[in-house]
Amino acid sequence: MGNEDLLNKIKKIVTRQSFGVFIALIAIWIFFGVATDAFFSFNNLINVLRQSSVIGIITVAMTMLITSQEFDLSVGSMFALSGILFGVLTMTVGLNQWLAIIITFAFAILVGLVNGLITLKIGIPSFITTLGTMMLLRGAALVTSGGYPISGFRELSFINIVGGRFLGLPAMSIWFLLIAFAGYIIMNKTKLGYKMYATGGNTKAAELSGINTTKIKLIGFVLTSVAATIASFTSIGFLGMVSPTQGQGFELEVIAASVVGGTALFGGSSSMIGAFLGALIMGSIKNGLSIMGTSAYLQQAFIGLVVIVAVIINVQFQD
Amino acid sequence: MADYLLEFKNISKVFGGVVALDDVSFGIEKGKITGLVGENGAGKSTLIKICDGVHQPTKGQLIWAGEPVNINSPAAAKKLGISVVHQDIPVCDNLTVAENIFLGPKIPGKNIFADRKYMEQKTLKLFSELNVEIDPGKLVKRCTTGEKQLILIAKAMSKKAKLILMDEPTTALSPNEVTILYKVLNKLKKEGVSIVFISHRLEEVQKLSDRICVLKDGQYVGDLTKKEANEDIICQMMVGRDVRISQEYKENFSTEEEIFTVEGLQNKEYGLENISFALNKGEVLGIFGLRGAGRTEMARSLIGDFESTAAKIKIADKTVEIKSPKDAFANGIGYLPEDRDELGLLDNMDIVENMCITDIDQLTNMGFLQKRKMRKIAEEYQDKLDIKLSSIYQNINELSGGNQQKVLLAKWLILNPKVLILDEPTKGIDVGTKSEIRKLIIELTKNNMSIIVISSEMIELMSIADRMLVMSEGKLTADLSREEFDEELIMKKAVTELSI
Amino acid sequence: MKLFKKTSLLLIATLVLTLIFGFGYQTTTLAENDYEFRVIVHLADDTFWIPAISGTEKAGESLGVDVSFTGPSTTEIGEHVSMIEDAIAADVDGIATSLPDASAFNDIVAEAREEGIPVVGINVDAPDSERMAYVGEQAVEAGRVLGENIVKHVGEGGQVAVGSSQPGQTSLEDRFAGAKEVMDENNIDYEFIDVTEDITTAVERFIDYYTANPNVDGFFGVGGLSTHASSSAVETLGLQGQVAAGGFDLLPETLTAIKNGYAQFTVDQVPFLQGYYAVNQLYLYNEYQILPVDINTSAGVVDESNVEEVIELSDDGYR
């Protein structure tokens, strides 16, 4: 009786979508643990979590958006522009920091809405729309900042929320954990998540069921844009500065993390635990290679290979 | 005056230039089962989509319980209490059974949270009322088509709908499931729910409905009470035309020589059973059937696109094995698909490329395309088929449907097959080109080609076919010679389940 | 059976991973000595660093220490900081790093020093950080050398365009500031143009400038890419002899242009020395507690008189 229950439980865990990702992460960890002495130290594992955080925070939202069958390539540029906007408002204009934060988030929501409305109302594929806004926002970041990085954030008190450490963990990774948890709850427990899965699974069926799929997707676009902004704030908290050129290529890294985590590129299927682990995998590879002192020429190629291998492992563990 | 729950007042719907519904006025009685019948393209599905808020009428007014209403979205329809069980079974494969049933603007649960436990319990209860056993936690992608259909019916019930419209709900169900459905419908009726039931199976429509309404060519023909209805009258109303097309004289080039014989074709997945027939050299063989009769499935099984079992196919007395369209092709069988856009046309390529694609291996020299040869062929067939175009290098998408069809036809003619299977060759084509294609078909048999024409346009088949097979429920129900052609007889055969 | 298939696939995947990483691991040279140094630079896959890599390798060989050369392939500050963090976690004996932001590296450099790891800045300096010394050019001074050479080739009162691929980057700004001083003293009319980080666009920017100002006397760059672009623009427009060109760094294209007369000079910051001296200083500090000192590597100007020899050395990876 009890044995059977346990067996069933194990079976349920093993056949879960995210189990393959978990195995891939463990395999990577074991490898780096054997290859280097330093990888498995407590401090380094915290480093891994912190270094995965920026990509991870955006991955959570991107996973939700891909689940509802859309993409957002503008997150990397938004990661730069929102920080620059905040920097200009506080440092150049001299606005109150909290007001500046509100304005920055309002702007992020606006960008999400613009991405979404162009895609959904005019009917341009989101891949193209956000490719356009990706360049547009990058340009805006460069123009607004005059190309210069902005620093001096350490004097603002908000830095205490996004920077520093709590309970021994860097603030950045606490935000990541919180957002990943919220993402898990949204996708698995709320009506919104339910509707996102339905929208991505069969848009027509969802529409015929009376779901406003346009609204659901629009929420997804707003969330990626807002997540990129939160990520930008945590980056400011960590570095004390923001550069208009930061975040280039993040969009692809984020999509890769999400896909490694088991998100189907055509929507309808994803796992938040998987996405979380996917972001950790990306962070672990970079950290491990960097600890080994691998040449810069080889790092990119390794990451690409590991992404492919991780996806293969993941697919094998799914039906 | 009858007590109508939903009334259509002078409803018209025009798509582009095509009139789908023309001044339709009738009502759906409260607490009754209304059968809705009509030929393919009569406008039944459009009418349902108007009730569901997917389409809005071009003209006219809907009256709901005595009040004029506008139903401008599926959500608005849900709000009124209208539920539709669609023909193409739209479900979210990635969700569970219970999640699909409760998918809608109002999902059960407190605040922002969705209560899956409640949904599963409720689903179990619904299913027990329906007498079906499906695990509510099962993913829908693991369900059979019949189960999916039942899920959608349960979904309509869960909405506490006042009006449930069902578009051919029984096509995909097993006999056992059909009986369950009948029980459910009668139970719902007793509870005061109004039901609209669309089906090609006239027998079941008669059995179930309190009243039968007939649509034809987008117009409302009239209704019959249960007592008045019998298959003959219904068929007459469905096909009765203003002008009966006379059985004009047609040249017959068919010979006694059997060029293509099929014995015992089976395909479980698509419900094809024991299909056997022979095609004579130079003959035009028509195959008539309503939607869902399995015509296209049969054709695609014949050319090896769908896997079939136990078929013995002979071409001119030689038994051949056809496992893929390539085999069919090698044995001289050509197939022009019904779905031009998805299966026929090479999108955004020019006319020459579209025509020459099947014969491309013959038109290359060491891997290089012989453009001049291709152009010559294209020009030859453009002339032969009188394809209207500005240049043979024009993008195929710029041509009208009729001319696209001619290009596709040319593609096969270039190969000069022994047997050509045409699936709805005149669908979605203007009247002028339709008759040109018909003439061409007859012309081709003159040159000893043998042609199978699949169509749901009975009159068209009657005018060009030398012989006609009628299909129903995946079986052949009649084999008629030209002398025996009769609209009502054919329609009757197309709606029976009895095999000959 | 199915499980067997999965397990074997997993094994293969692990094997592949091991082989890949094993190969990567081999690339770091084995040490005769216990010291392990890490050189971390921005845009690490840029050809600019080839002589610097030679410098670190030469120093490593002669001292018998293990040196790995790495860094982010972008200008991403966050990633650069992470890689220093990883070097600390790997417990290396010394770090030489470029510091391409005035404040963002302060925390991480301080952390390294706290852990007892010596840090030497190379190539780009952040004087406010706790790096022990800086090995590289003094950018303002190098800028003055540029200015003097501009005056030499266009004469007093000439009109010139000075391009930069990264406006806002501190060292490029400083070079420009140095050049500006000299140009102001000699009444040279200059315009500063953003040529972007893309070489094709950069050439077009100079050509556009010529279209608008046909009386221009010279195109110059404050970085490697903009210098390459300045000579390419002269070549494209066929203006050799009429419009002077030159700037910084020894990109092979720039050297060829000097040889062919499309450019007149380039200021060398000798990246070889940056790698070479940095490793030496880290070694001396570890071995004899000799504190690292600032070293100015900016020196020579390459022009038609010595370009032939320099090209040979550049092909060998030393200049």
Q: How many CB atoms lie within 10 A of CB C117?
A: 21
| Cβ–Cβ pairs < 8 A, chains A and C | 147
For residue A129, what are the CA distances in angstroms to A74, A135, A247, C218? 9, 10, 19, 41
Alpha-helical runs (H) found in B313-400: 325-330, 351-356, 371-385
Region B368-386 average pLDDT:
84
- Strand boundaries in C174-294, DSSP class E: 189-194, 218-221, 244-248, 265-267
Q: Which residues of B touch A207 (CB under 8 A)?
A: 74
Tokens representing residue C278 in the block: 């940095």
What pLDDT sits at residue A150?
92
Q: Predicted confidence band at A45 (pLDDT cuts at 50, 70, 90)?
A: very high
> Which residue spans within chain C are E strands per DSSP?
36-40, 66-70, 94-97, 119-122, 133-136, 159-164, 189-194, 218-221, 244-248, 265-267, 295-296, 301-303
Class of residue A42 by CB neighbours under 10 A (exposed 0-12, middle 13-18, buried 19+) = exposed
Q: Which of B82-86, B455-459, C279-283 has the highest mean pLDDT?
A: C279-283
Architecture (CATH level 2) of domain C29-137+270-298: 3-Layer(aba) Sandwich (3.40)
Sign of the four-CA dihedral C177, C179, C184, C189: negative
Quote the CA–CA distance of C272 and C297 in Å, as a whole number.
9
Distance CA A93, CA B141 (A): 56
Task: Give yes or no for C198 touching A (CB within 8 A).
Answer: no
Q: What's residue C219's pLDDT? A: 95
C218-221 vs C159-164, strand pairing mode: parallel
Q: Residues 87-146, chain C: which have Cβ within 8 Å of A?
A: 87, 89-92, 101-104, 106-107
- Asked if residue B306 lies in contact with residue B267, where contact means CB atoms within 8 angstroms, the answer is yes
Tell me the residue type at C8.
Answer: S
Sign of CA dihedral B266, B267, B273, B279: negative
Judged by CB atoms closer than 8 Å, whether chains meet at A194 and B114 is answered as yes
Identical fold between B4-239 and B258-495:
yes
C24 interfaces chain A, CB cutoff of 8 Å: yes
Q: Which residue of A has its CA nearest to B142?
A: A319
> What integer pLDDT is reported at residue C28 of this predicted model?
47
The total of other beta-carbon atoms located within 10 Å of residue B77's CB is 25
User: Distance between CA B157 and CA B170 in Å, rounded?
Assistant: 17
Contacts of A290 in chain C (CB under 8 A): 70, 82-83, 86-87
Q: Which residue of A has its CA nearest to C169?
A: A148
- Picking from C106, C105, C85, C113, the residue whose alpha carbon sits closest to that of residue A287 is C85
Tokens read off for C254 = 């720039």
Tell me if residue C125 falls in helix, strand or coil: coil
Position B244 scores a pLDDT of: 41
Can you state the angle between helices A296-317 and A250-260, rounded to 10 degrees? 30
The CATH number for B4-239, chosen from 3.40.50.970, 1.10.10.10, 3.30.70.20, 3.40.50.300, is 3.40.50.300
Q: Which of A193, A195, A205 sits opposite B90 (nearest CB)?
A: A205
Q: Where are the domains of chain A?
A: 21-308
Rounded distance between C-alpha atoms, residue B130 and residue B409, angstroms: 49
Residues 6+ apart with CB under 8 A from A258: A59, A62, A63, A66, A270, A275, A278
Please indicate whether residue B178 or residue C52 has the higher confidence score (pLDDT): C52
Q: How many of the other CB atoms lie within 10 Å of CB of C200? A: 10
Q: What is the pLDDT of residue C7?
A: 61
Indicate the CATH number of A21-308 among 1.10.1420, 1.20.272, 1.10.3470, 3.30.460.
1.10.3470
Residues of A whose CB is below 8 A from C82: 47, 51, 286-287, 290
Superfamily designation of domain C139-267: Response regulator (3.40.50.2300)
Enter the tokens of residue B64. 């709901």
Q: What is the mean pLDDT of residues C199-205?
A: 91
- Amino acid of residue B411: K
At B424, the amino acid letter reads E
Chain C residue numbers with beta carbons less than 8 Å from the beta carbon of A27 are 10, 13-14, 17
Is residue A289's pLDDT more than 60? yes
- Mutation to test the A interface, candidates C4, C8, C17, C109, most A Cβ within 10 Å: C17
- Amino acid code (one letter) for C157: G
pLDDT band at B195 (very low <50, low <70, confident <90, very high): very high
Q: Which of C31-35, C234-238, C244-248 has the lowest mean pLDDT?
A: C31-35
Selecting from A191, A201, A212 the residue whose C-beta is nearest the C-beta of B107 gives A191
Residue at C38: amino acid letter: R
Q: Do A205 and B109 touch (CB under 8 A)?
A: no
A152/C28 Cβ within 8 A:
no
Q: Is A33 on the interface with C (CB under 8 A)?
A: no
Contacts with B158 from chain A: Cβ below 8 Å: none
**Full-model pTM:** 0.78
Residue among A189, A197, A207 whose CB faces B95 most closely: A197
Which of B180 and B35 is assigned the larger pLDDT? B35
What average pLDDT does the structure give for chain B? 83
Distance CA B233, CA B238 (A): 9
Cβ atoms of B57 and B218 closer than 8 Å: no
Is C82–A305 a contact, with Cβ atoms under 8 angstroms apart?
no
Tokens 């978990």 locate to A22
Which DSSP helix (H) or strand (E) runs through A55?
A: helix A42-67
Res A232: pLDDT? 97
C127 to chain A, minimum CA–CA distance in Å?
Answer: 15
Which residues does chain B have within 8 Å of residue A198's beta carbon, measured at their own beta carbons?
A: 92, 95, 99, 103
The 3-state DSSP class for residue A171 equals helix
Binning pLDDT at 50, 70 and 90, where does residue B332 land? confident
CA distance A264 to A187: 15
Q: Is C10 on the interface with A (CB under 8 A)?
A: yes
pLDDT value, residue B225: 87
B86: nearest Cα among B122, B111, B49, B61: B49
Angstrom distance (rounded) from CA C17 to CA B328: 47
Of the two residues A20 and A83, the one the predictor is more confident about is: A83
Structural domain boundaries in chain B: 4-239, 258-495
Among residues C214, C227, C218, which one has the least CA distance to residue C188? Answer: C218
Average pLDDT value for residue range C74-85: 92
Angle, CA C308 vertex, CA C306 and CA C309 arms, to 5°: 75
Residue B11's DSSP bridge partners are B24
Q: What is the DSSP-derived secondary structure letter of residue B454?
A: E
Q: Which of A238, A298, A316 has its CB closest to that of C9? A: A316
Please name the member of B90, B94, B109 whose beta carbon is closest to the beta carbon of A208. Answer: B90
Residue C309 has pLDDT above 90, yes or no: no
Closest residue of A to B155, CA-based? Answer: A209
Output the pLDDT for position A174.
95
List where CATH 3.40.50.2300 sits in chain C. 29-137+270-298, 139-267
Average pLDDT estimate for C242-270: 92
C249 contact partners, CB below 8 Å, separation of at least 6: C48, C223, C224, C227, C266, C267, C268, C269
Q: Enter the tokens of residue C209.
A: 């400038």
Q: Give the total residue count for chain C.
A: 319
- The answer to whether the Cβ–Cβ distance between C27 and A148 falls below 8 Å is no
- Range name among A62-76, B198-212, C14-28 with the lowest pLDDT average: C14-28
Rounded Cα gap, residues B234 and B211, in angstroms: 12
Question: CATH second-level architecture of B258-495?
Answer: 3-Layer(aba) Sandwich (3.40)
Around A125, how many Cα atoms within 13 Å sit in the side-chain half-sphere? 5
Q: Which DSSP category does C1 fall into?
A: -
Across C74-230, where does the E strand assignment appear? 94-97, 119-122, 133-136, 159-164, 189-194, 218-221
pLDDT band at A117 (very low <50, low <70, confident <90, very high): very high
d(CA B163, CA B50): 14
Task: With beta carbons less than 8 A apart as the criterion, state whether A76 and A251 touch.
Answer: yes
Touch between chain B and chain A: 3 or more Cβ pairs under 8 Å: yes
**What is the rounded distance in angstroms from the CA atom of residue A23 to the CA atom of residue C14?**
11
The average confidence (pLDDT) of chain A is 90
Per-residue pLDDT, A146: 82
Those chains having 3 or more beta-carbon pairs within 8 angstroms of chain A are B, C
3 state DSSP class of B338: coil
- What is the rounded CA–CA span in Å between residue B280 and residue B283? 5
Does residue A125 sit at the C interface (CB-CB below 8 Å)? Answer: no
Stretch 128-147 of chain A: residues touching chain C, C-beta under 8 Å: 145-147
Q: Read off the DSSP letter of residue B96.
A: B
**B348, pLDDT greater than 80:** no
- Rounded to a whole number, what is the distance in angstroms from the first to the last CA of chain C? 60
Distances (CA, A) of A2 to A7, A70, B12, B423: 9, 44, 66, 60
CA-nearest residue of chain C to A240? C104
Gap between the Cα atoms of B44 and B169, Å rounded: 14
Q: Over 50: is that where the pLDDT of C1 sits?
A: no
Res B1 pLDDT > 70: no
Alpha-carbon gap, residue A157 to B10, rounded angstroms: 69
At A140, the amino acid letter reads A
Spatial distance between the Cα atoms of B391 and B382, rounded to a whole number of angstroms: 10
Nearest CB among A190, A194, A212 relative to B99 is that of A194
Q: Which two tokens stand for residue B109?
A: 């649960």
Cα separation, A299 vs A290, in Å, equals 8
pLDDT, residue B432, reads 67
* Inter-chain CB proximity A38 and C71 less than 8 Å: no
Closest CA relative to residue B404, chosen from B418, B421, B387, B416: B387
Q: In this structure, what token pair is assigned to residue A36?
A: 């280097």
- DSSP-assigned letter for residue C123: S
Average pLDDT (A243-247) is: 92
Q: What angle do CA B139, B143, B145 make, to 5 degrees?
A: 140
